[in-house]
């Protein structure tokens, strides 16, 4: 990724500003009240539920500390990721992703049809992960997708599996808090994750000679239920602030996780909690690593507003759509430059 290929260059209105805003940033939430060893008072717990609900509503993004994920597990996967990406392109391409193998290494990712300044390695939580065989809405055929594992570093597979289990534990804690904040029972979301299509992504953003023209990830929303992201100390993640539409940088906070509401949760909550646009800027000096975990439902889930959250005054704002076809469509457009707009949840919006 030495020279700047025109495929990376953004339209002027999408280019990042080189100076960035450090204004009122995303909320920082201390999860220690729900660490299992703690004896938590009802008031303290209620307070936490409200804090999470407010952050979901006002920002769609928050950071958490005292989340219960052991630091050494995070360090281990970070180390494996750095070792993997430090190899030659030829070596990395041995575990390359393609139309059939949807997990693995990829260095030509597109967001909304512009190339991203990054390389990634995707690792599925469920082995095998079942996905639709094609984009055709009438084709019911599915395929079994397995992880591709590089020879080096040899511990990568186990490290990712182990870290994935930690991500699931944290996801379920967060889902309980989010469910309660919406007035649902704590386990209200638990039924959606049998045969889940969740995955971990290792991201590497190399230094970029023209950071004012390109982005590490172009502005986008995650399709997930929620995303749990670990970023290093370099910084670059920016969130579109709901109150004024400004791009605000998420300050790296040691050992914290960044949580964001994805499109699936937006639809489930019938727009009470919105999936917010974000992007990643790059810089000319330092490479950056990040580790998102995308919590996804099973491919056969029909995503639609939850019955408990709609009524006559607040009717469903979306038609049901099939998760597997939605994600397959997104993955296909990430893969190549298409001349049509990417599939988005608003394509399923019921007009008022
Ligand atoms: C993503 C993403 C942010 C980051 O991969 O969807 O938004 O900081 N990544 O790498
Ligand atoms: Ni994202």
pLDDT at 18: 59
Tell whether ligand 1 has an atom less than 6 A from the beta carbon of residue 292: yes
| Mean pLDDT value of segment 223-233 | 97
**pLDDT higher than threshold 70 for residue 210:** yes
* Nearest partner of 164 among 291, 299, 3, 65, judged by Cα: 291
pLDDT at 37: 66
Tell whether ligand 1 has an atom less than 6 A from the beta carbon of residue 119: no
Cα 142 to the center of its chain, rounded Å? 24
According to DSSP, residue 273 is labeled S
pLDDT at 140: 92
pLDDT at 15: 81
Q: Quick: pLDDT tens for 135-182.
A: 888 899 999 999 999 999 999 999 999 999 999 999 999 999 999 999
Residue with the smallest CA separation from ligand 1 atom 6 is 222
- The number of the ligand 1 atom at minimal distance from the alpha carbon of 288 is 10
Considering only residues 39 and 37, tell me which one the structure prediction assigns the higher pLDDT: 39
Tell whether ligand 1 has an atom less than 6 A from the beta carbon of residue 218: no
Report the chain's mean pLDDT, rounded to a whole number: 91
Q: Quick: pLDDT tens for 234-253.
A: 999 999 999 999 999 999 99
pLDDT at 16: 80
pLDDT at 108: 80
Ligand 2: distance of its center to the CA of 126 in Å?
A: 21
According to DSSP, residue 349 is labeled B
**pLDDT higher than threshold 70 for residue 1:** no
Ligand 1: distance of its center to the CA of 246 in Å?
A: 18
Q: Quick: pLDDT tens for 63-112.
A: 999 999 999 999 999 999 999 999 999 999 999 998 778 899 999 877 77
Work out the number of other CB atoms within 10 angstroms of the CB of residue 185.
11
Give the Cα separation of 88 and 193 in Å (integer).
37
The ligand whose atoms approach the alpha carbon of 221 most closely is 2
Q: Which residues of 56-75 are buried (b: 16+ CB within 10 A; e: fewer)?
A: bebbbbbbbeebebeeeebe
Q: Which residues, 6 or more positions from 72, have their beta carbon under 8 angstroms from its beta carbon?
A: none
Tell whether ligand 1 has an atom less than 6 A from the beta carbon of residue 222: yes
Confidence of residue 6 (pLDDT cuts 50, 70, 90): confident
Tell whether ligand 1 has an atom less than 6 A from the beta carbon of residue 111: no
Work out the number of other CB atoms within 10 angstroms of the CB of residue 266.
26
Considering only residues 22 and 121, tell me which one the structure prediction assigns the higher pLDDT: 121
- Site to substitute for ligand 1 among 109, 203, 247, 291, most atoms within 8 A of C-beta: 203
pLDDT at 241: 93
């Amino acid at each position: 990724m030495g020279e700047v290929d025109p495929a990376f260059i953004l339209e002027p209105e999408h280019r990042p500003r080189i100076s960035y805003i450090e204004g009122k940033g995303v909320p920082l939430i201390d999860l220690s009240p729900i660490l299992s060893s703690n004896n938590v008072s009802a008031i303290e717990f209620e307070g936490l539920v409200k804090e999470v609900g407010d952050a979901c509503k006002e920002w769609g993004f928050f950071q958490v500390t005292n989340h219960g994920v052991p630091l050494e597990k995070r360090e281990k996967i970070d180390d494996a990721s750095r070792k993997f990406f430090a190899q030659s392109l030829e070596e990395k391409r041995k575990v390359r992703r393609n139309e059939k193998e949807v997990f693995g290494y990829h260095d030509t990712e597109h967001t909304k049809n512009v190339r991203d300044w990054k390389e990634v390695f995707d690792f599925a939580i469920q082995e095998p992960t079942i996905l639709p065989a094609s984009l055709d809405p009438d084709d019911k055929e599915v395929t079994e997708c397995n992880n591709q594992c590089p020879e080096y570093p040899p511990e990568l597979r186990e490290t990712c599996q182990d870290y994935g289990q930690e991500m699931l534990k944290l996801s379920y804690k967060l889902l309980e808090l989010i469910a309660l904040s919406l007035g649902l029972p704590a386990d209200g979301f638990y039924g959606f994750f049998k045969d889940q299509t969740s995955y971990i992504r290792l991201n590497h953003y190399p230094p970029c000679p023209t950071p004012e023209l390109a982005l590490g990830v172009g502005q986008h929303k995650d399709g997930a239920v929620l995303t749990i992201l670990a970023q290093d100390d370099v910084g670059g993640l920016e969130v579109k602030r709901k109150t004024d539409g400004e791009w605000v940088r998420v300050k790296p906070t040691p050992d914290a996780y960044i949580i964001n509401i994805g499109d699936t949760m937006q639809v489930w909550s019938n727009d009470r909690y919105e999936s917010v646009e974000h992007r990643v800027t790059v810089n000319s000096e330092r490479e950056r690593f990040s580790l998102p975990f995308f919590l996804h439902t099973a491919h056969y889930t029909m995503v639609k507003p939850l019955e408990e959250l709609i009524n006559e005054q607040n009717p469903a704002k979306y038609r049901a759509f099939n998760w597997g076809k939605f994600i397959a469509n997104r993955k296909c457009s990430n893969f190549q430059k298409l001349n049509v707009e990417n599939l988005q949840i608003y394509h399923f919006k019921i007009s008022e």
